[in-house]
Amino acid sequence: MVASMGVVRAMKRGSKFVLLGAGFTILVILALFGGPWLALWHASKPSPASRPLLAEGLPPSFQEADQAFSARILSKFPAGSPEADLIQALDAQGFQRRDIGKVRSSSFVQQALPCKLMWDVNWSANEGGEITHIEARYHGVCL
């Protein structure tokens, strides 16, 4: 009888280890597979900053979107148009300004895993406030 009680205790202790082992295994599986999925889901949510109107409706490939964005900017703000209109439009849409010498520049950056998307507009203007040269580029860096 005493021997059988010892066997029962050993079995209870053994089942506790099995349950602990199973729980640990499940926890490891959730961490390995659930963690990355949760991170991907969280990162793929739209950025708090909305995409600028000038960047809406671009084609999905970077090369085509770059060409479309450039054409869009050049058609709305061609050389000879007022620099003030360009600056006002870019500022209103959240572009960040940084000038380097006579070349003026504004950029909009959006973090959207797996890519960091960037819209850049570079231009120069004469003393009369007219755009003399303008370039626009859309590009991204993806994981």
The pLDDT score that the predictor gives to residue 37 is 46
Specify the pLDDT at position 48: 43
Cβ contacts of 44-49, under 8 Å, gap ≥ 24: 44/112, 44/113, 46/112, 47/110, 47/111, 47/112, 49/94, 49/108, 49/110
Residue 76: predicted pLDDT: 97
Q: Three-state DSSP class for 18?
A: helix
**Per-residue model confidence as pLDDT tens for the chain (143 residues):** 656 666 556 666 666 656 556 555 665 565 676 666 445 444 444 444 578 999 999 998 999 999 999 999 999 999 999 999 999 999 999 999 998 888 899 999 998 778 899 999 999 999 999 999 999 999 998 88
Q: What pTM was computed for the model?
A: 0.65
pLDDT of res. 56: 92
The per-residue pLDDT for 143 is 80
String of DSSP letters for 89-121: HHHHTTPEE--BTTBEEEEEEEEETTEEEEEEE
